[in-house]
Amino acid sequence: MPDTTPLTVPSQTGLDLNDVPYSPLATAYDEMMDAQGKVRPHWQAFAKYFTGVSRNDLDNLNKDSQRRLKEQGVNYNVYNDPEGMRRPWLLDPLPMVFSEEDWAPLEEGLQQRARLFSALLRDIMGNQTCLKKGLLPPEIVFQHPGYLRSMVGGVPSPLTLYAADLARGPDGTWWVLSDRTQGPSGAGYVLEARMVTKRVLGQGAVDYSIAPLAQYFYHLKRHVAALAPDNQSDPTIVLLSSGIGNEVYFEHAYLVAQLGITLVEGDDLTVRQGKVYLKTVDDLKQVDVIIRRVDDVYSDPLNFRGDSMLGVPGLAQAQALGRVGMANPLGSGMLESPAILPFLPGLSRHFLSEELKLPEVATWWCGQEKERKHVISKIDSLVIKRVDRATGVVYGNKLTKAQKTDLINRIKAEPWLYVGQQLLSFSTVPTLADSALHPRHLVLRTFAAGDGEQYDVMPGGLTRVSPDANSFVVSSQMGGLSKDTWLIKGGGSMRDVLRLNPAKQRRTASAILTSRAAENLFWLARYMERGESLLRLIRAYLRQLENYFDYGDDTDAQVLINLKPLIELYCKVEGKQQRLPRLDVLQGFILDSRHTGSVAYNLRAAIRTAYTLRDLWSGDCWRAIEELEELLDYTEKNQKGVALDQFIQPFLTGLLAFWGASQESLALDQGGLWLQLGKRLERSQNTVNSVLRLCHVFSEENEAGLRHVLLESNDCLNSHRRRFGTDLTYYTTWQHLLLEPTNPRSLVSTVSAMEPLLGYLNPNPHRGLMPLEKRVLSGLTPLRLADASEWHNTELTKTELAEFLNEQMATFSQFGLDIEHQYFKHAQPITRFMR
């Protein structure tokens, strides 16, 4: 074997890694060391990297990679996991390494397999010659629970995306374990793994030239774009996600950002005349191609599962009529059935006139009598799979007697739904665990994208390893780790890369903001602002309380009592009414997320919303959101024994970080506008509301104190002092808080900041103002014209100012409704019927 690495490593026997010994298992093929204990040539540079590495270094490597992943916000959602959305994805920083010699046959085999599955899909959805010729028993198709009868006979579509899970047996042969044809996931994680691994290991380890990934994604987008009907040159592409509940939602968000396409959920799309449209804030925009990450049967509540909340009614017709490109087509899920595996060699000869290049692991379909008997008698040594479940694999040797009997009965009742597969001893690869290198079994997920005839295979893929040496389960849901996969290129390969790189990658239509995303941003901003506003109010209240404790002044008590209804504007106080809210009640207003309206309640709502917009946030912005969430978690856990006001500042700082980061990174047309609009509207309403609540309670005893608190809770106290000195009258307060254009937190400034935002939304500014702009103007003009001296005493405040503010309030409420009505009209309850 020629030395493919640019480094010359003296041949060595065994791996001398100083403190870090590595001993492969006797029973499995090891990727790095051969049977003689020699490091395989393509691993030598890797092995060299570890010469002189200590256990401590390994530990640091691991920590470093997890830290980097966390910074990137990479998650893998585990259903029913208490940690929920934030369970980190586990990445082993040590890569799996491939030589070109090992890889080339795999690549060819995968290309062939993808072509074969594409042909098989067309055939099953079309003439069904494979069934007529007896190459595939009809039960495998017709009795597959995921067979979509209604898709048969539509405009044929190729299988654009293909993935396969491979494992290497003890003799060094790669076997196909299963095929992924519906919405293969993992490609986004590969990108992330590459980025982190390269950074963590540093330049030293990556001296070799590793085949880059960028090209694969270029080809992927090219093949997907080619599905657009009518050869649309600049197609609108969306990725249809099942949303935040999906285990790989992070990847959906990551991929759309990489590909420059739009992330959508079922609700964002609508079918009209058999075409698919995207609901944007402006209008309906036709969608040319859908990258589908919602399973077949959930994709269309009219045609398939009626209880699906993830789909789009009429989507099946749109595909069948050829009016939208679908990657992968509806109906492709059935190809994942392991029952097809034993028939693939014959199908390959039929469709491709070729012998199958990659072997699949021995599989027996129980729909055949002989095979069924074999599976039942050998159940201890087999893996049992249902034809319609990608997961839920049962290891015969792990079953109790009762479980085994139960399984055998189920197989006998519906034999066509089960297969038995040979247990394979997967190869091992060095993996970091407990500050040492350990052999772990690996499964490689490989990816291909193509047009049905020609496929581009991602160099490498996603290597997943089992959590311990005795297990062959590599699922991330079961605690498995992922690894980057390096295909080491020989000399000169980098030139190929450059030559192949697309000369002119046209700037395609940028991602489109959906109406749902706009609404979510708008509400996220309102939640955040509401939480912030309540925080400031509670802080002002606490300072007042401190005064009262210090001086025992009755007017301070009066002020505190009068502030209660203001706090209740946000948070309903339950139970026995106290004269003053107790401190623990106040603490609940901040930290009890179950208490409707509390700070935590609002921030949690904002953060949940932020997760649904994962693709929009910049790295920094996402960090700010995660830090807020961590702060919430932390303070909720450690709230006992910490002074109340100590919670407040970190939250305010966290919120400011978010606002700063979002304003710096989120362009107006990419959603920033809705964030700004929501924040301004919420703040205007809060300011008006709080003054309005207090208008009627002013009296000689409390007026100075209340004015002080109002300014403080609106973060205007300092600027007021600078402008008016210690003079704090009705006039100065109303002027500064409501009417002062140079005070950025005044009502007039907040409202006028909305004007240019709305102007941006106006599609035809030359035709004059939109109704929404007029609405804002009808609130803004009286504000600009008002004179604070007309509200200069308690009486005038109670009458004139209250009336003025009531009108303002009505204007803003209506404005909020107008926005909802005009821009967020996408979500409506759905009704199904059958008769």
Partner 1 sequence: MNTNTSNTPSPLPDSCAEVSYIRVRHETLYRYPGLASLAYNKAWLAPLVRLEQQVLEHRVRIDPKPRFQHVQTDSFGNRVHYFEVHKPHQQLKVTSEAVVGRCPKPLNDACQFPWEQITYHSLQARQKMELCSFAYPSPMAPYHEEAKDYAQSCFSPARPVAESLLDFAGRIYRDFSYESGATQVDTTLGEFLDIRKGVCQDFAHLAVSGLRSLGLVAAYVSGYVMTYPPEGEEKRQGADASHAWVALYVPDYGWLHVDPTNNMWVSDEHVIVAIGRDYSDVPPLKGVCYGAGQQQPEVAVTLERISREELSYGH
Residues that bind partner 1 (CB under 8 A): 128, 131-132, 134, 138-139, 141-143, 149-150, 152-153, 270-274, 301-303, 306, 313-314, 317, 320-321, 413-414, 416, 828-835
Instruction: Provide CB contacts within 8 A for 599, sequence distance 6+.
Output: 531, 534, 535, 538, 589, 590, 591, 651
- Nearest approach, Cβ of 264 to partner 1 (angstroms)? 17
Q: How far apart are CA 44 and CA 207, in angstroms?
A: 12
Q: Which is nearer to partner 1, 320 or 324 (CB)?
A: 320
Residue 313 beta carbon to partner 1: minimum distance, rounded to whole angstroms = 4
Nearest Cα to Cα of residue 121 among 90, 143, 88, 154: 154
Q: How far is the CB of 154 from partner 1 (least distance, A)?
A: 9
Identity of the residue, 316 or 754, whose beta carbon is nearer to partner 1 in the bound complex: 316
Nearer to partner 1 by C-beta: 275 or 526? 275
* Minimal distance, residue 830 CB to partner 1, in Å: 6
CB of 113 to partner 1, least distance (A): 25
For the stretch 749-769, what's the b/e string if a residue is b when 16 or more beta carbons lie within 10 angstroms of its beta carbon?
bbbbbbeebbeebeeeeeeee
Give me the half-sphere count of Cα atoms (radius 13 Å) on the Cβ side of residue 81: 18
DSSP for 667-721, written as a single string: -GGGTHHHHHHHHHHHHHHHHHHHHHHHHTT--TTTHHHHHHHHHHHTT-HHHHH
Element of type H or E holding 175: strand 174-180
- For residue 321, the minimal CB distance to partner 1 (Å) is 7
Contact residues for 134 (Cβ-Cβ < 8 A; gap 6+)? none
568/571 Cα distance (integer angstroms): 5
Tracing tokens 């074997």 back to the chain, one arrives at: 1
Minimum gap (Å) between residue 368 Cβ and partner 1: 13
Coil vs helix vs strand at 440: strand
> Which residue's CB is nearer to partner 1, number 351 or number 698?
351
Task: Give me the least distance between CB of 350 and partner 1, in Å please.
Answer: 15
Q: Give whichever of 45 and 312 is closer to partner 1, judged by the CB atom.
A: 312
Nearer to partner 1 by C-beta: 140 or 358?
140
Considering the complex, what minimum distance in angstroms separates the CB of residue 378 from partner 1? 25
Cα–Cα distance for residue pair 444/433, rounded to 1 Å: 20
Would you call the peptide bond into 602 cis, given omega within 30 degrees of 0 as the criterion?
A: no
Using a 10 angstrom Cβ sphere, with 0-12 exposed, 13-18 middle and 19 or more buried, the burial of residue 143 is middle
Distance of CA 110 to the CA centre of its chain: 28
Cβ 177 vs Cβ 443: under 8 Å: yes
Of 149 and 398, the one with the shorter C-beta distance to partner 1 is 149
CB of 159 to partner 1, least distance (A): 20
- Report d(CA 512, CA 260) in Å as an integer: 9
CB closer to partner 1, 301 vs 467: 301
The secondary structure of residue 595, as a DSSP letter, is S
Residue number with CB closer to partner 1 (784 or 832): 832
Give min distance, CB of 184 to partner 1, in A: 27
Q: How far is the CB of 126 from partner 1 (least distance, A)?
A: 12
What secondary structure does DSSP assign to 509-529, as a single string? PPP--BHHHHHHHHHHHHHHH
- Residue whose CB is less far from partner 1, 46 or 416: 416
Q: Nearer Cβ to partner 1, position 416 or 804? A: 416
Cβ nearer to partner 1, comparing 149 with 774 = 149
Q: Which is nearer to partner 1, 317 or 687 (CB)?
A: 317
- Shortest separation between residue 134's beta carbon and partner 1, angstroms: 6
Please name the helix (run of DSSP H) or strand (run of DSSP E) that holds residue 325, with its range, or none.
strand 325-327
Distance of CA 64 to the CA centre of its chain: 23
Q: Report CA torsion sign: 66, 72, 76, 81.
A: positive
